[in-house]
Amino acid sequence: MRYIKIIVISTCFLFSCNIKQRAYSGKYGIIYTGGKYVPYVYSLKLNNDNTFDYSYSSGWIQKISNGTWNIDSRSNKLLLCSNVDNVKSIPILVVELSDSIINSKEFIFVNPTSDSTLWSVFINGTRYPIKSDKVTISNDIKIDSFYIEGYKDFTNITPYPLQETVRSKIHYVKNAQNNVFSISFPKFVDYYIFHYETIKDSFSIKRNYIIWQKGGIKLRKLPEP
């Protein structure tokens, strides 16, 4: 009986938290149309599934982020945690296979940017440029680990990137017999990865606005379209 009570109370608590969270979901933003400063636009979307999408744009600068959000009920603060903690250590999805028909080691890469980004796979510290989304190396090379690196030359390209080089987490090979590696990034990685800003912070939130910067900008809740 005691356990049933605990389960019921916990369920109610979680349910009420969920309702409270839902009250904050929606689109927040500010558009400064110009005057003293260069015009800018902030946009923060708190989705019902506790994911968020953030963007900032002004002049030649553009920043984007995505991740998960929560409300700390004790401090009544909005907690944002980006999907990418560090653009030099982005999660990757690797499927390893053993294929006896081919007499080499193959790395098949799903390119998330489809632009002029130069992607390379670093195998045991050696760089192999990925051409036509594939790298083939000799079967004799023993592979302990590898990671993916992307570089884009932003000379004369706007908006400015926040970084010109991005890198995946190091993948440690599970089985030395495997010779085919299918590599992809999670869905939230696309060509805006070079404009990605990691957000891991708390913000004051009210029903109708979020304080985005210290002493500064209020992102107002926008009406539903």
Partner 1 sequence: MSISGGSVLQYAIPHCISNISWNLYIFHHHIDCDSEQKNSIDFFENGSWEIQGEFGTKNGREWKNDRDKKIAEQIQSEVVNRDKSLAKQEARINAKIDNINNNAKLSDDKRSQQIATQQNKLEAVKTERNIISTLDKGITQLGASKTVYTFNTVESGITATLSSQKDGTVIINNYGTLGNRSHETSHAIQYDNHLITFNPLGSNNLLMRNPLGIEIQAYGTEYSITGGIVPLSDNGTPKSIFGITPNWLYGLKDSSGTYLYRPSNYK
Residues within the interface to partner 1 (CB under 8 A)? 27, 29, 31-43, 55, 57-62, 64, 114-116, 156-163, 191-192, 213, 216-217, 222
CB of 79 to partner 1, least distance (A): 21
CA 164 to each of CA 57, 130, 195, 204, 221: distance values in angstroms, whole numbers, following the listed order: 18, 17, 9, 32, 33
CB of 125 to partner 1, least distance (A): 25
**Looking at beta carbons only, is 126 or 213 nearer to partner 1?**
213
**Looking at beta carbons only, is 125 or 216 nearer to partner 1?**
216
Judge contact between 73 and 17, C-beta under 8 A. yes
**Looking at beta carbons only, is 107 or 192 nearer to partner 1?**
192
CB of 98 to partner 1, least distance (A): 36
**Looking at beta carbons only, is 163 or 178 nearer to partner 1?**
163
CB of 205 to partner 1, least distance (A): 17
d(CA 34, CA 147): 44
CA 68 to each of CA 25, 33, 52, 115, 180: distance values in angstroms, whole numbers, following the listed order: 12, 29, 6, 28, 33
The DSSP symbol for 193 reads G
Residue found by looking up tokens 């553009």 in the block: 62
